[in-house]
């Protein structure tokens, strides 16, 4: 077995992967899990981050629980996720959502708490509806923090994809890496790792470009 295959071997393995038609099905499967899990986890993180950051009662109930659960790595849940969800996509999405949620929740929670309380009091004194105040003052004030949390979560979603596809997948970049590792195909393993890294890099660059447009005043 070649532990460190030369670039030519890696390139040949990747080309064969593409020619077989498996690459694009694996790519789409992994992108679906990352994108769906990121959207669900990000939306939940922002929603609960605003609630815990703005309302002390909700924060006292949920924040301690989230701080206990947050350090648990998604890969630790693989055995129990298989028990809960079997080999369905729901279990894989759960793991990606788990990784994304806590990062976005914490950044949103901190961002909301950093919003100028004077602005909030002034808006309430002027009779601004609470819903409008949350949208136009709290969310906009916390937006730079939220964007940082979301960008961090982009990379985390790819980390958790590893755990997700180890939980009984039948397609995906990490799944293909695992199969290649079992067959001692180190060229395929290195090619899969390169593909995973490239996917994560492109996703991060795209989100960074989007963030510059969203938080243009910063």
How much is the pLDDT for 128? 67
User: Residue 172: helix, strand or coil by DSSP?
Assistant: coil
How much is the pLDDT for 193? 85
Count Cα neighbours of 69 within 13 Å in the Cβ-side half-sphere: 15
Count Cα neighbours of 170 within 13 Å in the Cβ-side half-sphere: 4
Per-residue pLDDT of the chain (218 residues; tens, 9 = 90+): 456 777 777 788 778 778 887 888 888 988 899 999 999 999 999 999 989 988 889 999 998 999 898 888 888 877 787 778 777 778 888 889 998 999 999 999 998 888 777 666 676 676 666 676 776 677 777 888 898 899 899 988 888 888 888 777 778 888 788 887 777 778 778 887 888 888 889 988 888 888 888 765 55
Domains of the chain: 20-173 (1.10.3720.10)
How much is the pLDDT for 105? 93
User: Cα separations (Å) of 158 from 4, 100, 190?
Assistant: 24, 10, 16
Dist. CA 28–CA 32, nearest whole Å: 6
How much is the pLDDT for 160? 87
**Contact call for residues 12 and 26 (beta carbons, < 8 A):** no
How much is the pLDDT for 104? 94
How much is the pLDDT for 204? 87
């Amino acid at each position: 077995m070649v532990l460190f295959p030369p670039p030519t071997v890696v390139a040949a393995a990747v080309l064969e992967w593409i020619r077989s038609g498996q690459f694009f099905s694996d790519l789409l499967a992994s992108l679906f899990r990352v994108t769906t899990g990121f959207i669900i986890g990000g939306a939940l993180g922002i929603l609960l981050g605003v609630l815990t950051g703005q309302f002390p009662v909700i924060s006292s109930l949920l924040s301690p629980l989230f701080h206990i659960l947050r350090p648990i790595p998604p890969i630790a849940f693989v055995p129990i996720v298989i028990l809960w969800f079997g080999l369905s996509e729901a279990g894989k999405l759960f793991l990606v959502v788990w990784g994304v949620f806590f990062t976005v929740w914490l950044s949103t929670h901190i961002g909301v708490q950093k919003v100028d309380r004077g602005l909030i009091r002034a808006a309430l004194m002027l009779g601004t509806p609470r819903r409008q105040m949350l949208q136009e003052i709290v969310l906009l004030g916390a937006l730079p923090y939220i964007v940082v949390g979301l960008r961090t979560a982009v990379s985390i979603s790819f980390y958790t994809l590893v755990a997700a596809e180890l939980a009984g997948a039948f397609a995906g970049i990490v799944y293909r890496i695992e199969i290649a590792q079992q067959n001692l195909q180190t060229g395929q393993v290195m090619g899969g790792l390169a593909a995973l890294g490239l996917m994560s890099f492109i996703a991060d660059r795209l989100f960074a470009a989007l963030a510059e447009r969203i938080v243009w005043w910063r």
